[in-house]
Structure formats: C-alpha cells, structure tokens
Structure 1
Amino acid sequence: MNLVCPVPLDRYPQVLLAHGGGGKLSQQLLKQIFLPAFGASETGSHDAAVFTANQSSLAFTTDSYVINPLFFPGGDIGSLAVHGTVNDLAMAGATPRYISVGFILEEGLPMETLWRVAQSLGQAAQNCGVEILTGDTKVVDRGKGDGIFINTSGIGSLDHQQTIHPNQVQVGDRLILSGDLGRHGMAIMAVRQGLEFETTIESDSAPVHREVQALLSAGIPIHCLRDLTRGGLASAVNEIAQTSGVTMALRETLIPVEAEVQAACELLGFDPLYVANEGRFLAIVPPEAEQKTVEILQTFHPQATAIGTVTGKSAQTLGLVSLESSIGAPRLLDMISGEQLPRIC
C-alpha cells in the first residue's frame, strides 16, 4: 500500500511554531494529518468530547502547557494547566470533576520552582472543585525541556439536556463575549520584553465553569461555547463559522479591550482580536436570550457584552466572518495564518 501525505511538504517540510498557534496551520494539521490518521470525524472537533458511559453523559478533554516564562503576572504554568482543562470541559457545558496531571521536567530544574508550580496547581484544582486522580512524571536531558511541560486531562459530567456544539448555531443567534480581551497574551509579552506600563497587565487566567453553570441554571438555551485561547477571538469565531457553515458579523467598537492592553498591542504590533486569553469565552445564544445572558455574565465580569450576530447560512459564503471597524468600514476577519505569540499557553 502506497501512503501519500496530503500536506504540501514542499511548502511545509517541517513543523513550524505556527502549527501550534491555533490558526490556519493548526487546522491543516488537524484536518489533513490527525483526523484521517485516527479515523475521526471533523464534526467531533470541539474543546471537549462528549460521550455516554453507563447511561451517564460525560465530557473528556486533554491539553498540554508549554508556557514561557513559567511565572507571570496573574498566574503560572501550574494554575494555567488546571484552568485550561476546566475551561475546555466547561465549553461542552460540563461540570469539571476529575483531572490527571503529567509533568515533563528538564534536568537541572530548581526544586523550589517545581515546588511552587505543584503548590499552585494543587491550589487551583481545589479552588475549581476538581480532584486530581492520577499523574505521571518524566525527566528529559538538560536543554531539551524548557523547565517544565505539563499535560492535563479532565473528565466532567453533563447535568443538563442541552446540546452545546458549533453545529447548533443558527441564523440570528447573538455572540456574547464574557469579558475584555488580550490580557493573557500581553501579560506574557510584557514580561518577556521588559515592558513597564502605568499598571501591570495581569493575565486573565481563571476558571469559567461557574459562569457557564450560572447560564445553564438560569435556563439560557446555549447553542455554542468557545474559550478564546490560541488564536484569540478571531480564530474562535472562524472555527465556529466554518464548522457550522454560517456567516457572522462583529462590531469592533463593541469588543472591550483595556487601554493598557491596547497600548501594548500597538507597541508590539499585535492585533488584540488574535491575542490569546485564558479566562474569556464566547457564548452563542438565540436573540431572545441575549439580554439575560449579558446580565448574568456581567455579574462575573462587568465588561461582558454582545459583539455580533450570525447573519446567514450559504454555501457560497461558507464560514465567513466580517468585522465592522471603528470607522464603520467592513473587513474580512480571517483566521490567523502564522504564529503571533509563541509559547503563551
């Protein structure tokens, strides 16, 4: 049997940092390498997989964390690993229950650093109400591990009857943003570049499952949820639009970005719509639920707001997202094609 690699090797003969950036090259790996190799369906692409075991509806997810620096304003790789996995489960509408933790440690790592990370991870798990059931530790040669890499997997229970998935998105739905954008990516870059602002930019790294549970408890009919991590808001809305086959329209003036984050983005040449977040998500709900959804989310983050609408469903405009700029001119909001912020999650 002759196997032919579908990825254009003459263009990308090696893995690039951008292949892990959550944009077009990440999608290429998923669709042309992993899904065919694993015999998986593209429709299963989501933050967490939902399945049934012994008549119980469960969600399962896994993620790896390779952030540099290990400690940053507002968090560290330990708490980030817990928050990221908890949030992926929440995006399926699940209540996080259990996680596993795998450490890959570099020879020479100071034991005090490992202790701080472990303490932070354990405290974050306790704060999120999840139990660490199992784990693993490996040590690699000096110079081959960048200090610490962490992998976490999580299991959550679905205690409701809603189906929360991109394929549930409908024309007329409203896009609700849970808070301001860009904090995590700019907090990391400020530390790396030694930038000082009037106020320190802190990462938004935090669990969001309580916000989701509040929406579900209030009876909000949620069609889709997506946390805005790699690739930021722009990549998230493009992924949803492509999966659900809809067009979306966003308004830039409605998207909250703090002044210090905007200043950092302008100084470093970044677009905050593509900057990663670790405590923000997008909720897509029917128009009649827009006001109540915003009101509930504003009890957690005052800047939660509606930012756009699902405008159509057409094969000719499959997956297109438009953005009305601050001066009123529309432009196409595309998925990021390169790597804007390396090693931020």
Structure 2
Amino acid sequence: MRMNRRTLMLGAAALPLVSTIRHAGAQAAEFNYKYANNLPLTHPMNVRAQEAVDNIREETGGRVAIQIFPSNQLGADTDMLSQVRSGGVEFFTLSPLILSTLVANASISGIGFAFPGYDQVWPAMDGELGAYVRGEIEKSNLVVMENIWDNGFRQITSSVGPINTADDLKGFKIRVPVSPLWTSMFSAFESAPASINFAEVYSALQTGIVDGQENPLAIISTAKLYEVQKYLSFTNHMWDGFWFLANKRAWERMPEDVREIVAKNINEAAVKEREDVAALNATVRGELEGHGMIVNEPDTSTFRQKLADAGFYAEWKKNYGDDAWAILEKAVGSSLG
C-alpha cells in the first residue's frame, strides 16, 4: 500500500464510520474489546490497526469485535496504561519509554543516540533486544505482541530558534513524555524538561508553557504541531516505537485458535505500518516546510559527547544492568558512553 497524505486522510475519514457501524452490531460478537492509543486517526498506526481489526473480525467469523479509541479519547498515556492493566481496556499501544514507568528496563531501546539508523533498529527489535524487552514486559502481567510498531526517530521542534548544538539546549524549556529516561537525558543537556502527557502537548506549546518538544516527523505532521512551532531540528536523538499490549485476563479468555488469529493480524499490521512511516517520512519534511517550518540538520556529535561527559550513559548502564546493556551494545554495533 502506497502511503501518502491523501491516503492518510481517506483512511482517517473512514475510521469513525466503520468503527460506529461495527460497534452498533458488536453485541453479536463473543469478544467485544477496546483498543486505545494516543495518536490521531491520520497516523499510519490507526490506519493499519483498522485493517487488522477488520481482518480479525472476518477471520474469526465475527467472534472478535475490536473498537478503536484514538487520540487519547480514553485518557492520557499513564491513565490508559492503568486501564489496560486493570482490564478497563483490552488493548493499548505505548512507547517503551513511557512503559518504563511500570517496566523499568523497557526503555533501553530509547537510549540517546544509540541507533545510527533503521538498519540497526529492526534487526535489534525483531531479535535479541526486542525479545529481552518483551520478557521484561511479561513479568508485569501484560501480554505483548511480537512485532513492535514504528514511531520513528525523534526530532526537536522549537518556537524560539533552531537547535544546532548541545549548547542550544541549555535552559531550553522542552516538553518530554512522562518517562525517567527522557527527563534524565534532557537534564544532562542542562535543559528544563517538563513531563507532559501527549494529550496536553499542543496547548502547552500554544500557551508557551514550554518552548519546544520532540517527536517523530509523522506525529509532528499529523498532530499539526507546525501550527505552534516554527523550527524543526533533525537531531535523531532517539528511536521510539509502540509495543502493542493486551490485558492478560482478556487475552486468555479467547481460545488459543482465536488468539493466534488476533496476534497474526496485529503483527502483520505492525510490519506494514513500519513501511508506511518510512514512506511518510520521505515526504513529510517538504510538507512541514510548506507549512512554514524552518528546518536544520545539526551535527549530533556535540550532543552525544555532552551526554557522555554528563555521565548519562554510565548512569543508565548501572540502572539497566550489565547484561541488558551488553545486549543493547551488541544490537547497535558500538560501545556507548
């Protein structure tokens, strides 16, 4: 499927109608489950999730009906994490860095400047590093699908000026997700990080509570952050994804053959979504510039050196433990810190 802006908008337009129709007949299904996420309908994750939901309903003969609740409709990330644990929602996608508020070592894939590019990301997350993190997640009584979805390499936006070197981050008021790793990294840059759930990001930027934020290009575009941010700096400071989580009790209520159908379709959708994000990233820079954003590409060597000098890598190696850190360094193909 070729993913472009028109495709995204058509997919977004179709989602509410399809979900409403499905929900209206949901009583006929044996398993009526909710899937919550924090992304706009236009994001590739929701487009591909809808395809998976439709396929699951068809392949299970109507036994499984999943309704999608996008854009934090059921609460902020931390609220929805509590809900998927309690069974208030059955499925939820979450960044491993925010998941680290529950599963400490889940955030290891997001260490600053660890991955040079996607050539290292997918072998790592589909391989030993991803398997290690999934094992940690399962210890918290959650079910996690095998394939992680792509969020992307994160970039910094600002309303006060471009970020060219690590020194430009000194005193910079930046929104970060609710995660110890993000706060630690931007504190090492001597920034002023503020932990704010994604549902409040646009208003925090609009009212000047923070000067900037950091997110992958697809989110900067689909959440229309260009309306409240002028500068976009391609820092690629960390890679981020979304683990597809399930409430364990709800998951185990489904027979094994049904679970296999659900998992198969969700994992296949994850791989397609990765391709969609790559296609979107190839065109979104020009679109953001068309919306008036000023784009720059800084030399990131000063950022990584600043983190090393501040003891960031040494601190997190200690936090994660030597064994987990060795898996990370093996995955990224270099020594960190």
TM-score normalised over the length of structure 2: 0.28
Structure with the higher helix share, 1 or 2: 2
